[in-house]
C-alpha cells in the first residue's frame, strides 16, 4: 500500500493501460473511499522521517493548505520537542519489529497548538526485503480523551452519591437473620426493609434462578478475619418482577476475642453500569468488525493498485517503481540487469476475427505462462495493451535469451484459447542486457524496444537480443 500511495501522490506513474475495466475503476473508487475520505491521516515517510506521501486529512489535521506543503519536509516538525526522543525510539522499534500500534503522542498544528493523537506505523519493505519507508496511520483522539475524562468524572460523582445515599446497607446475624436493613432496599428491590427482617429467606428467594447456585457457594464460604467477599448477581423486583443487577460486598465482623458477630454488607444496584458495559462491549465488537473490514478493503486496494485486472500480472505503475529499485540494487551489487519486452502477436487480428473475449483469453494464457515460468525474484508486468515487460534479476544476456526462448516454445505447446479457433498464441520479444552502472533505466527500456521492433521485422514469433552495433531502421 505504501508504494501505491507514494505513486498516487507524486504522479510518478502515468497510467497508459488500454484496459478500462470496471475493476480498474473500482480501484480508484476504493482509493478515494479508504484513503482520501478516511477520518484518519495516512502518510508515508522515508527511513529518516521525510514525507513521501500524505493524505488530504494529514494536511487538514495539522492545518496545512495542502499535502504538497509537507512533501519532502521532516515529519519531526509535527511533534513537540519533548516528543522527538520518543518518536525516534519508536521508529527504531518499528524497524526491528516491523510495526507499532496505537501509540499515543501529542502532535502540533501549524499554529503551534497541540492535540492528542494515536499513531500506528508499519515498515515498508522492497522486493528484496530491505526496509525503505514507514507507513503511518494517525488518528485524532482529542474527542475520545475528552469523553474519557467526562466518564471518569461522572463515575466519581456517581460513586459519591451511591456510597452516601443509594446503597442498600444491611447487618446480618450469624444465623443469617437480618438485624438491620436500610430503607434504600425499597428503591432497589421493591420490598420494604421490615419484610426482610421478618422473613430471612426473602432475600434468597428474590435472587434470579440462574444465579442462586453461585450465590449459595459464595454465602456458604467460611468467614475469616479481614476478608472481603464480593459477588455480582441478579434479583427479581417484588413490584414489577423486573431484573436488577446487584453488586454485593460483605465484611465479616469479629469481636476482640475472634468471635464471629455477623456480616455487614452493602448491595449496590449496578444495572445501569451493566447496560453501559454491554453497550460498550457491543460498540467495541462493532469497531473491531469495522476495522477488520477496512483492513480487508485495504488489502484489496493494495492488490488492485499494483495488479493488472485482466491478466493478474503487475501493472505499469508498479513496474516503474520496481524497475527503479532493481536498477539501484544492481548498481550497488555490480550486477547485470536484463529486461525483456514482448508483444503478443496479432492481437488486433484476433480481436477483429474472434472478438475481444477470445483476445482477452489469449492475453491471459500468455500471462499465465509468464507468471508460471518466471523466478520468484523476477517481475512480470503488463506494460500496456498487448505489450509485456519482464525484469530478470541478475541474469546475463545469454541466459536471458535462453529463458525467453523457453517461454516461447512452452507457449507453443499450450495451444490457443479455444479448440475451435484456428490460431496459436505466440509472442515476439526484444531483450536488452547491460551492466546496470552503464545504462539508465530509460536507455535499457529503449534498447529492449529497439530489439523488439527488429524482431518483428524478422517475422514475429521470435526472440532477439539488442546489439548496439545494429542500426535501427525499417
CA distance 63 to 70: 11
Mean pLDDT, residues 40-60 taken together: 92
Is residue 247 within 8 Å of residue 228, measured between CB atoms? no
The mean pLDDT of 212-241, rounded to a whole number, is 83
Residues 324 and 243 in one domain: no
For residues 413 and 396, the model is more confident at 396
Q: Whole-angstrom Cα distance, residue 67 to residue 43?
A: 10
Q: What is the pLDDT of residue 463?
A: 93
Domain assignment present for 299: no
pLDDT in tens, 73-83: 999 999 999 99
- Flag whether 473 is in a domain: no
pLDDT at position 416, please?
66
Q: Answer with the one of 269, 298, 332 that is the final residue of a domain.
A: 269
Give the pLDDT band (50/70/90) at residue 33. Answer: low
Q: Which of 28-32, 94-98, 162-166, 385-389 has the lowest mean pLDDT?
A: 162-166
Which CATH number fits the domain that encloses residue 96?
Answer: 3.30.450.20
Q: Is the same domain home to 356 and 447? A: yes
Sign of the torsion formed by the C-alpha atoms of 429, 433, 437 and 439: negative
Q: Does 471 fall in a domain?
A: no
pLDDT value at 87 more than 60: yes
Percent of the chain topping pLDDT 70: 86
Let me know if residue 304 belongs to a domain: no
State the average pLDDT over residues 2-13: 39
Query: Does residue 291 belong to any structural domain of this protein?
Result: no
Average pLDDT, stretch 43-48?
93
322 and 457 co-located in one domain: yes
Domain holding 357: CATH number? Answer: 3.30.70.270
Inside any domain, residue 158: no
Which pLDDT belongs to residue 16? 40
Q: pLDDT for 412-469, tens place per residue?
A: 887 666 665 567 889 999 999 888 778 888 999 999 999 999 999 988 899 999 986 5
Query: What pLDDT is stored for residue 106 in this prediction?
Result: 93
Same domain for 356 and 385, yes or no, is: yes
Q: Is 382 in contact with 311 (CB distance < 8 Å)?
A: yes
Q: What does the pLDDT read at residue 382?
A: 92
- Residues 208 and 106 both lie in one domain: no
Together in a domain, 174 and 141? no
Structure confidence at residue 267 as a pLDDT band (50, 70, 90) = very high
Strand partners, 95: none
In a domain, 159, yes or no: no
Does position 10 have pLDDT exceeding 80, yes or no? no
pLDDT of residue 226: 65
362 and 430, same domain (yes or no): yes
pLDDT at 5: 42
The single residue of 140, 345, 360, 386 carrying the catalytic annotation is 386
Q: What is the mean pLDDT of residues 4-8?
A: 41
- Judge whether 341 and 429 are in contact, CB under 8 Å: yes
Average per-residue pLDDT for the chain: 84
Residues sharing a CB contact under 8 Å with residue 23, sequence separation 6 or more, in sequence order: 304, 309
Distance CA 391, CA 377 (A): 9
Give the integer Cα–Cα distance in Å for 86 and 84: 5
The answer, yes or no, to whether residue 27 has pLDDT greater than 60, is no
CA distance linking residue 34 with residue 67, whole number of Å: 17
**CB-CB contact of 49 with 12 (8 Å):** no
- Identify each DSSP E strand in 284-443 by its residue range: 336-344, 379-384, 387-393, 427-435
Rounded average pLDDT over 263-282: 87
474/299: higher pLDDT: 299
pLDDT score of 1 = 40
> Is residue 215 domain-shared with residue 251, that is, in the same domain?
yes
Whether residues 350 and 253 share a domain: the answer is no
Last residue in a domain, options 115, 146, 177: 146
What's the pLDDT score for residue 222? 67
The grid cell for 241 is 418482577
By mean pLDDT, which of 272-286, 372-386, 412-426 is the weakest? 412-426
Give the pLDDT score at 202: 92
109-129, pLDDT tens digit by residue? 999 999 999 999 999 998 888
The verdict on 196 and 142 lying in the same domain is no
Question: Binning pLDDT at 50, 70 and 90, where does residue 13 land?
Answer: very low
Q: pLDDT confidence of 280, banded at 50, 70, 90? A: confident
Check whether residue 252 and residue 392 sit in a common domain.
no
pLDDT of residue 431: 94
Is 386 catalytic? The answer is: yes
The answer on pLDDT for 155 being more than 80 is: no
**Residue 421, pLDDT score:** 58
Q: What is the pLDDT of residue 422?
A: 67
Q: How far is the C-alpha of 329 from the C-alpha of 335, rounded, in Å?
A: 8
Number of domains in the chain: 3
Taking residue 159's Cβ as centre, other Cβ atoms within 10 Å add up to 11
Strands (E), 15-156: 41-45, 51-54, 99-108, 114-125, 131-140
Q: Which residues pair with 428 in a beta bridge?
A: 343
Say whether both 320 and 450 belong to one domain.
yes
Rg (CA), the chain: 36
pLDDT digits (tens, 9 = 90+) for 320-361: 888 899 889 888 988 888 999 999 998 999 898 888 899 999
Helices 316-333 and 441-457, packing angle to 10 deg: 110
Band the pLDDT of 245: cuts 50, 70, 90: very high
Q: How far apart are CA 218 and CA 250, in angstroms?
A: 10
Position 29 in a domain: yes
- 3-state class (DSSP) for residue 384: strand
Domain boundary among the residues 269, 285, 306 is at 269
Q: What residue numbers bound the domain in which 261 lies?
A: 166-269
> Do 191 and 185 touch, CB atoms closer than 8 A?
yes
Amino acid at each position: 500500500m505504501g508504494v501505491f500511495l507514494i505513486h498516487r501522490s507524486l504522479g510518478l506513474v502515468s497510467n497508459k493501460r488500454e484496459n478500462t475495466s470496471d475493476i480498474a475503476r473500482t480501484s480508484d473508487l476504493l482509493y478515494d473511499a479508504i484513503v482520501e475520505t478516511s477520518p484518519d491521516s495516512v502518510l508515508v515517510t522515508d527511513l529518516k522521517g521525510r514525507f513521501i506521501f500524505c493524505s488530504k486529512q494529514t494536511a487538514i489535521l495539522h492545518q496545512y493548505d495542502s499535502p504538497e506543503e509537507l512533501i519532502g519536509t521532516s515529519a519531526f516538525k509535527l511533534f513537540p520537542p519533548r516528543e522527538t526522543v520518543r518518536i525516534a525510539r519508536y521508529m527504531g522499534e518499528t524497524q526491528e519489529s516491523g510495526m507499532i500500534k496505537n501509540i499515543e503522542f501529542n502532535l502540533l498544528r501549524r499554529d503551534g497548538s497541540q492535540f492528542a493523537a494515536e499513531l500506528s506505523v508499519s515498515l515498508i519493505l522492497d522486493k528484496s526485503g530491505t526496509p525503505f519507508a514507514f507507513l503511518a496511520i494517525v488518528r485524532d483522539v482529542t474527542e475520545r480523551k475528552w469523553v474519557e475524562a467526562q466518564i471518569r468524572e461522572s463515575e466519581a460523582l456517581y460513586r459519591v452519591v451511591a456510597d452516601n445515599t443509594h446503597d442498600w446497607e444491611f447487618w446480618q446475624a450469624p444465623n443469617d437473620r437480618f438485624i438491620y436493613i436500610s430503607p434504600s432496599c425499597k428503591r432497589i428491590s421493591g420490598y420494604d426493609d421490615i419484610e426482610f427482617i421478618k422473613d430471612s429467606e426473602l432475600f434468597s428467594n428474590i435472587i434470579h434462578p440462574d444465579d442462586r447456585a453461585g450465590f449459595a457457594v459464595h454465602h456458604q464460604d467460611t468467614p475469616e478475619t479481614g476478608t472481603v467477599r464480593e459477588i455480582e448477581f441478579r434479583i427479581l423486583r417484588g413490584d414489577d418482577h423486573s431484573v436488577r443487577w446487584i453488586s454485593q460486598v460483605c465484611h465479616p465482623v469479629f469481636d476482640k476475642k475472634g468471635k464471629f458477630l455477623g456480616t455487614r454488607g452493602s448491595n449496590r444496584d449496578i444495572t445501569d453500569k451493566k447496560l453501559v458495559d454491554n453497550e460498550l462491549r457491543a460498540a467495541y465488537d462493532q469497531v473491531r468488525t469495522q476495522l477488520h473490514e477496512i483492513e480487508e478493503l485495504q488489502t484489496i486496494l493494495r492488490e488492485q493498485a499494483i495488479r493488472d485486472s485482466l491478466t493478474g500480472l503487475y501493472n505499469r505503475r508498479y513496474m516503474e517503481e520496481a524497475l527503479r529499485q532493481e536498477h539501484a540494487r544492481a548498481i550497488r551489487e555490480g550486477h547485470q540487469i536484463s529486461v525483456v519486452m514482448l508483444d503478443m502477436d496479432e492481437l488486433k487480428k484476433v480481436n477483429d476475427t474472434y472478438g475481444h473475449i477470445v483476445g482477452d483469453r489469449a492475453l491471459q494464457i500468455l500471462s499465465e505462462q509468464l507468471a508460471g515460468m518466471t523466478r520468484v525474484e523476477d517481475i512480470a508486468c503488463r506494460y500496456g495493451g498487448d505489450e509485456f515487460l519482464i525484469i530478470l534479476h541478475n541474469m546475463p544476456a545469454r541466459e536471458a535469451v535462453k529463458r525467453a526462448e523457453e517461454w516461447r516454445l512452452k507457449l507453443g505447446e499450450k495451444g490457443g484459447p479455444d479448440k475451435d479457433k484456428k490460431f496459436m498464441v505466440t509472442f515476439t520479444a526484444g531483450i536488452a542486457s547491460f551492466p546496470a552502472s552503464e545504462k539508465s533505466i530509460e536507455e535499457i527500456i529503449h534498447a529492449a524496444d529497439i530489439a523488439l521492433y527488429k524482431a518483428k521485422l524478422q517475422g514475429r514469433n521470435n526472440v532477439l537480443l539488442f546489439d548496439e552495433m545494429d542500426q535501427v531502421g525499417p
